[in-house]
């Protein structure tokens, strides 16, 4: 039976009761819809707040990510430059060590060859000249030299 059939079976004196019943049902339905709208409005506000929060969080994360990506790129560049400088330093150190070893070997060979050519004989020293007073004489007595003054001999006997 449809609602139009049920209305046909109602007696006219029951109309006010039926109208009141329909009005009551519509009011209940309106209350349910009103409650549902309130619930939907609360959910919309919550989602809007969540979206605002998540948008702010997304912006912060994106900014942090951009900063860290830039920092990582700078670190990569610094690491690459440092590794290249370190390699150059190692190459220079290897070269220095090679030159030092080469110099050490040549110095050793010069020392060995110079030791082979040195003779035990020593060259005689030139005697050093010592200035003597004008009126002095030198006499040799064995290995010793004696210096005497001739001034005393040349002086007149009266002073003696």
Phi, psi of 42 (to 5 degrees): -60, -45
Region of residue 66 (phi > 0: left; psi between -120 and 50: alpha; otherwise: beta): alpha
User: How confident is the model at residue 11, as a pLDDT?
Assistant: 72
Residue 9 phi/psi, 5° resolution? Answer: -85, -5
Tell me how far apart the alpha carbons of residues 85 and 92 are, in angstroms, rounded to a whole number: 10
Q: What are the tens digits of pLDDT across the range 74-107? A: 999 999 999 999 999 999 999 999 999 988 888 8
Question: How do residues 54-64 score in pLDDT, each as one tens digit?
Answer: 999 999 999 99
Question: Between residues 104 and 7, which one has the greater pLDDT?
Answer: 104
């Amino acid at each position: 039976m449809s609602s139009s059939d049920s209305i046909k079976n109602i007696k006219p004196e029951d109309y006010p009761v039926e109208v009141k019943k329909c009005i009551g049902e519509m009011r209940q339905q309106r209350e349910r819809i009103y409650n549902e709208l309130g619930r939907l409005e609360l959910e919309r506000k919550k989602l809007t707040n969540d979206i605002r929060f998540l948008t702010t969080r997304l912006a912060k994360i994106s900014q942090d990510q951009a900063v860290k990506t830039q920092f990582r790129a700078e670190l990569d560049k610094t690491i690459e430059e440092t590794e290249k400088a370190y390699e150059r330093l190692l190459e220079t150190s290897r070269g220095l060590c090679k030159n030092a070893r080469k110099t050490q070997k040549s110095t050793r060979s010069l020392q060995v060859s110079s030791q082979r050519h040195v003779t035990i004989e020593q060259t005689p020293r030139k005697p050093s000249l010592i200035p003597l007073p004008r009126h002095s004489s030198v006499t040799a007595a064995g290995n010793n030299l004696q210096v005497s003054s001739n001034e005393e001999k040349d002086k007149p006997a009266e002073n003696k």
